[in-house]
Amino acid sequence: MIFDSYEAYKQAGFKPKACILGSGPAGTTIARKLGAAGIPVVVLEAGSREFSDESQDFYRGTTVGDYYFDLDITRLRFMGGSSNHWAGWCRVLDRQDFEPKAWAPDTGWPISRADIEPFLAEVRDILELPAFRPDVQVSDDIRWVQLIKSPAVRFAEKFADELDKSGNIAVVLNTYATELMGDGKRVTGAKLWSNGQDAGIFTADYFVTCTGGLENSRLLLWSNQRSNGGVVPNATALGRYWMEHPTFEGGNAILANYSEFQVDASNEAFFSPTPAAMERLQILNFGIRVIESPYPNVKRLIADLACTAPNMAEWMSAQLDQRLHCAAQLYVAWEQAPLASNQIELSRTDVDHAGVPRIELHWKKSPLERRTLLEGLKLFGATLAQKNLGRVRIDEWISNGGDYPNNEETAGHHHMGGTRMGTDVLKSVVDANCKVHGMDNLYVGGSSVFCTSGQCNPTTTITALACRLGEHLGKVIAV
């Protein structure tokens, strides 16, 4: 069932056991799991079926620190959430992304990759993915990694009919919770806002916030402030350890034979460090995206190389006669160190139309990440040279410690952390089952529970965690 307003929903007399806030990949997946288990669930979606400026305006905010995207363009507030603009790139976090690293404080999850692997077949079905392929070790330091370019499932498009026909799932559009109310043990209700006005208080046995990697923190921070700590009793880490995937062009490469790189249909290939290399160099995970360059770039690069390494340039020139596909741009995206100082705060001066403080995002890249960027490119360059697969040139601003350019991709629009998973209540917000510490009936879905970011796009892992949470919650509610 899909309703366009809370008023219409109320008239239907639906009695849900659980309330999910948000209809993006996490919210929709959890709702479908609960619905399939025979559990009545309501999904509150703040936006409508389509994009609107009025709805997006609720997402405006400010960023303090490094340059970042405007907060109202880096996510979408309508049915299907940010799945409406994602690129569809898919990969699950690596095994080592879940493990603590002695050289990077506050890393490590309370679960391992094995805990989400049982759900990957389901994830493939939801995201329409081919089989996952194992990594291929290229050298002791570098591995080829699969990054699937999927059809970019728009969750509203794909599941609207199913949700509409479901007797167990009610989706209420143009409706959301401005705040949750709680007594330090349970969420006792949610103050609703529907179609631009106060819609009263809503109650359910269970609440799951799936409003996104920025908005989950905002909702819980505001709710906790209003209820004097009654919604997140252990709130030290709330809003903190926020992460992105910084992304910049890192250099170029001249490649002897591009076909050796297991390129995908877009003529791109992806590489990451081996766990041993990360440990030896004490760096974080990263992904190097190799993109074939047009032929004129090859000539320019070889002219540059000739000044430095005439022997190599001569050999490459000879190769050019036979094969033109041998120059590439290198883009690097990397894992961000989880830092408590990278955090979502509530603005003290600016509120949205419903009176909820807007987000003030504090975000800076760390020296460890800067070293990861440089050492990562060096590792990749050394592997290509050792294997005689090609040669890499690192951009000058990286080699010389220059400022990050502000005319590039900057980051991946991947919002992670803020309500991270863990066992230490001082450094986490939810437990291994995504339940808020100290609360009996409040859960969090989505990338805000990520403890570390890994290097890959988060939607696949978000969906796997949502399948896991949906299954867990189904058992909890059924008892």
Do 47 and 171 form a contact (C-beta atoms < 8 A)? no
**Would you count residue 391 as binding another protein (CB under 8 A)?**
yes
| Closer Cβ to another protein, 133 or 387, answer by number | 387
**Would you count residue 354 as binding another protein (CB under 8 A)?**
no
**Would you count residue 444 as binding another protein (CB under 8 A)?**
no
Q: How far apart are CA 217 and CA 418, in angstroms?
A: 6
**Would you count residue 22 as binding another protein (CB under 8 A)?**
no
**Would you count residue 136 as binding another protein (CB under 8 A)?**
no
Sign (positive or negative) of CA dihedral 463, 363, 78, 203: positive
Least distance in Å: CB of 319 to another protein?
Answer: 14
Interacting span for another protein (CB under 8 A) from 22-30, 154-162, 187-195, 305-313 = 305-313
Do 270 and 287 form a contact (C-beta atoms < 8 A)? yes
Q: Which of 434, 444, 412, 438 is nearest to 425 (CA)?
A: 438
Residue type, 452: T
**Would you count residue 52 as binding another protein (CB under 8 A)?**
no
Do 145 and 287 form a contact (C-beta atoms < 8 A)? yes
Q: How far apart are CA 92 and CA 25, in angstroms?
A: 15
x/- mask, another protein, residues 361-390, rule CB under 8 A, reads ----------------xx--xx-xxx-x--
| Closer Cβ to another protein, 321 or 396, answer by number | 396
User: Which of 33, 365, 393, 427 lies at the binding interface for another protein (CB under 8 A)?
Assistant: 393
**Would you count residue 310 as binding another protein (CB under 8 A)?**
yes
**Would you count residue 53 as binding another protein (CB under 8 A)?**
no
Residue 243: CB atoms within 10 A of its CB come to 27
Report how far Cα 21 is from the mean position of its chain's Cα atoms.
Answer: 18
| Closer Cβ to another protein, 172 or 283, answer by number | 283
Least distance in Å: CB of 431 to another protein?
Answer: 45
Q: Which two tokens stand for residue 209?
A: 């916030």
Residue 66: CB atoms within 10 A of its CB come to 16
| Closer Cβ to another protein, 132 or 315, answer by number | 315
Least distance in Å: CB of 399 to another protein?
Answer: 5
| Closer Cβ to another protein, 251 or 338, answer by number | 251
User: Which of 52, 262, 267, 308 lies at the binding interface for another protein (CB under 8 A)?
Assistant: 308
Backbone region of residue 237 per phi and psi (left: phi > 0; alpha: psi in -120 to 50; beta: other values): alpha
Do 139 and 67 form a contact (C-beta atoms < 8 A)? no
Burial class (CB within 10 angstroms; exposed 0-12, middle 13-18, buried 19+) of 320: middle
Least distance in Å: CB of 398 to another protein?
Answer: 8
Enumerate binding residues for another protein (CB under 8 A). 251, 305, 307-312, 377-378, 381-382, 384-386, 388, 391-396, 399
